[in-house]
Structure 1
Amino acid sequence: MSRPVRHGPPPRRQGVQSRADPLDVPNPVTPTYCNTLIEHLQNQKRLKISQVNAILSQTRKVLEAQPNILEINVPEGKEITIIGDTHGQYYDVLNLFQLNGLPSDENPYLVNGDWVDRGSFGTEIALVFFALKLAYPKSMHLLRGNHESAMCTKEYGFKAEVEDKYNTAVYQNFLYIFNALPICTVINRRIFVCHGGLFTRTNVRLDEIRRVNRFTEPGEEGGEVLMAQMLWSDPMETPGQRQSMRPYGCSFGPNVTDEFLEKNGLQMIIRSHEVRQQGYSVEHGGKLITLFSAPSYMGDTNKAAYLRLSGTNLEIRPFQYTAVPSPSAKLYYDQNSCKAM
């Protein structure tokens, strides 16, 4: 006599349970999950697409609720760390965390844009930054750079990287998040932080920046494209302004910095966007600092740096570091045709 055909999955053995995947994203994200994620990606392993999308979905909701200008308060006896461009150099970011400690409520960070492109591990950096933002929403602060855009990521590697490691739909989800990133910060009503710099009009006020439609591609926000200018402009040492060689913004002199600070009741600008051989530079009579956090960028010999700002007066201390070994990985852009963007 033949046995009856059984339909459906085989019965589970009693006492045996399927093991949960430790990379499945909890809600809320926990510090333990962040540590698991960092180690997993450090070992050059990938996430499931569903896990990536879970991180992106939670992050998008958090970022969309934030204003254009983050207002950060550093009390007496506390500090905040600012980092500049990291450009897909995941293992150098891990080294920075080793040197300075992981972000936490006791060790807050401000990330000043350009996490992706040119380096081979932009997805790893972005996913870790997003997870840390979810675990520490009031202490991990994320700003947009010009490379967090469709225009740059199509040319400089991040689009190709995401599509290689995941798929095109995941890349589109990254773009939605980039469009939700805040665009500048004011710390203790003293220091203005943005990725690039200032504007072709010298009397721009913070209230105008607060009204910008940031939820779009830079250059498509309408009006004077203040967001795009802020992401692309650069300082120069001579007074005045001149048209930028970049797609948006201008080159602006120390008198432009002085006027912006005076009109808005501020004391200093911290920006990133350009390589500095020592990792940082002090410009415009001490009122502007350029900070760059990708050591040996694109084969250069530059150091990298981060800044620690302490107390209500925001005493600034720079810390330099050099590149660490990184595993061999696919390049996602053409170095020979790479423009200075």
Structure 2
Amino acid sequence: MSDNTAVANELKDKGNLELKNNRYDDAIKYYTEAIALVQSAIYYSNRAQAHIKSENYGLAIADATKAIEIDPAYLKAYYRRAVAESAILEYKKSLADVKKVLARAPKDPSCLKLHQDLTKVLKTIAFENAIAVNEKQSPIAELDFDSMIIEAGYKGPELQIQVDKATKAVSTDLDLKYVGEMVELFKEGGKIPKKHAFAIVCVANQIFKQEKSLVEIGLKRSKTAASGELQLEGCETITICGDTHGQFYDVLNIFSTFGDTGPNHTYLFNGDFVDRGSWSCEVALLFYCFKILYPQNFYMNRGNHETNDMNQVYGFADECKAKYSHKLFLCFSESFNALPYATLIGQEYLVMHGGLFSDDNIKVDDIRKIDRLKNKQPPKQGIEMELLWTDPQPEEGRSASKRGIGMQFGPDVTAKFCEQNDLKAIIRSHEVRMGGYELEHNGKLITVFSAPNYCDSQHNLGAVINLKTNSDGEYDLDFKTFKEVPHPNIGPMAYTRNMGF
């Protein structure tokens, strides 16, 4: 064994230990150092696994492909490439790689499970395509509240539901007392009646549909508000939160730590409130209740996980089915289509889930012009996709996405966009940050992530941004971090189609 090989194996072993302990960045560093010494299929394949755990699926595919080039017989590389391909919804490519493994290892349990999951999701997609109905058909419009009954034995809060015969608009007597009792019911492992859940989604959807694709809000200050901006009279704080991913107990901790939403405290949740975590229904219903109670003080941007293809794999669709019904998921899906894509605060801070664009000619006004109700799901390319999917990079310019979807943009792209649109900064989410938040691109771009100890494994802090006005009438940003809180003994991904990730 050469000296290089011996050192590389030691680095690989260190990487394996870091991977086992969920320290994925450190694992990637050690594997990279090993690869610099020896071009080994094992090292590339192991780094692919670390990238999978970091959700860098594009990089994982590249590493697994390199491992296969070095050793076409190395089955782990095919499996890991299949896992990464399934994570970015490339199901047919994933299935092809799985079949290559099973041709030589027909009893491999991981591959058999992935094959089963892929076959199931492909059948589901084929079935949905076969029964695809007119774009104008609405699951929410088909709801018949008169025919719905409250489940036997239900002892939770009551909710009166009315439907206007002329307009078909739905209304309820939802109040804070109901929400408080609903939360306690959820904490005990209970559910509200399906009829209540349908009504909450329906009423929230009516409110979302009245909002613009770009919501424009601001705190009252000496400066004259721009046309189209809603100044929040009496509001002292706007709290911006990143991904929460079904971590219901951490969401409750956000409100208990930083204050309840209401006329003097506005919240903006910046997408990805469902999937992965095992209480996505509870988080979504709570957020929708707050939207109904405080439509001008509670806002939600769409994330890449508020989409059908992600929900089918990462848990929300199956969670809705398990806890309520598949039809409730269809109604949630319709309401996700009405969520705004971005929020502009005081004409100075643009908040979206993913990031900036592949075209320098895109302006804030182009977000205003998005007809989000035109499509049932976001297009696979263009401004809507990029608002949901793109990520920053430290290098100048643009490059292919480490995720395998969208692209990455550098500090020059951010600086130019902010200058052209007279913005102080971009605020986005979409990625774990170990400290809960990070100032990037010379302070022109801020990432905030609000799911602490993401998926019970990342050991990251959560964070929020409190935006207030100072004595000069300017906005100040105050970054607050928090740790995870205990939750019932149900792990993340309980409703996820495993797919190996």
TM (norm. structure 1) is 0.89
Aligned-residue identity in percent: 36
**Which residue in the other structure is 1:57 paired with?**
202
Distance in 1 separating the partners of 2:372 and 2:289 = 22
Distance in 2 separating the partners of 1:278 and 1:113 = 19
Distance in 1 separating the partners of 2:386 and 2:481 = 29
1:95 aligns with 2:256: no
Output one character per residue of 1:103-143: Cα deviation in whole Å (capped at 9) or x when no partner: 11111100100001110000000000000000000000111
**Which residue in the other structure is 1:113 paired with?**
271
1:24 aligns with 2:182: no
1:320 aligns with 2:481: yes
**Which residue in the other structure is 1:15 paired with?**
none
Task: Classify the secondary structure of the residue corresponding to 1:73.
Answer: strand
Distance in 2 separating the partners of 1:108 and 1:258 = 28
1:272 aligns with 2:438: no
1:71 aligns with 2:216: yes
Q: Is the 8 A contact 2:204 2:292 kept in 1?
A: yes
Greater helix fraction, Structure 1 or Structure 2: 2
Q: Is the 8 A contact 1:29 1:135 kept in 2?
A: yes
Query: 5+ unaligned residues in a row in structure 2: which ranges?
Result: 1-153, 162-171, 222-234
1:251 aligns with 2:396: no
Shift of residue 334 of structure 1? Answer: 4.7
Task: Classify the secondary structure of the residue corresponding to 1:337.
Answer: coil
1:333 aligns with 2:496: yes
**What pairs with 1:297-308 in structure 2 (closer than 5 Å)?**
297-298=454-455, 299-308=457-466
Q: Is the 8 A contact 1:203 1:263 kept in 2?
A: no
Query: 5+ unaligned residues in a row in structure 1: which ranges?
Result: 1-18
1:242 aligns with 2:409: no
Q: Is the 8 A contact 1:228 1:248 kept in 2?
A: no
Q: Which has the higher contact order (CA 8 A, sep 6+)?
A: 1
**Which residue in the other structure is 2:334 paired with?**
176
Structure 2 counterpart of 1:294, from 451, 463, 467: 451
Q: Is the 8 A contact 1:198 1:249 kept in 2?
A: no
Q: Is the 8 A contact 2:462 2:483 kept in 1?
A: yes
Task: Report runs of 4+ in structure 1 exceeding 4 Å deviation.
Answer: none
Distance in 1 separating the partners of 2:450 and 2:264 = 22
Distance in 1 separating the partners of 2:318 and 2:208 = 25
Distance in 1 separating the partners of 2:477 and 2:499 = 37
Q: Which moved more, 1:64-73 or 1:312-321?
A: 312-321
- RMSD between superposed Cα atoms in Å: 1.8
Q: Is the 8 A contact 1:276 1:292 kept in 2?
A: yes
Shift of residue 168 of structure 1? Answer: 0.8
Q: 1:335 to 1:302 in 2, by over 3 A?
A: farther
Distance in 1 separating the partners of 2:416 and 2:179 = 42
Q: 1:218 to 1:231 in 2, by over 3 A?
A: farther
Task: Classify the secondary structure of the residue corresponding to 2:178.
Answer: helix
Distance in 1 separating the partners of 2:328 and 2:377 = 20
**Which residue in the other structure is 2:379 paired with?**
220
**Which residue in the other structure is 2:35 paired with?**
none
**Number of equivalent positions:** 318
Q: Which moved more, 1:20-29 or 1:114-123?
A: 20-29
Structure 1 counterpart of 2:241, from 61, 83, 90: 83
Q: Is the 8 A contact 2:156 2:185 kept in 1?
A: no
Q: Is the 8 A contact 1:238 1:253 kept in 2?
A: yes
**Which residue in the other structure is 1:131 paired with?**
289
TM (norm. structure 2) is 0.61
Distance in 2 separating the partners of 1:305 and 1:70 = 22
**Which residue in the other structure is 2:99 paired with?**
none
Distance in 2 separating the partners of 1:23 and 1:278 = 41
Shift of residue 308 of structure 1? Answer: 0.2
**Which residue in the other structure is 1:6 paired with?**
none
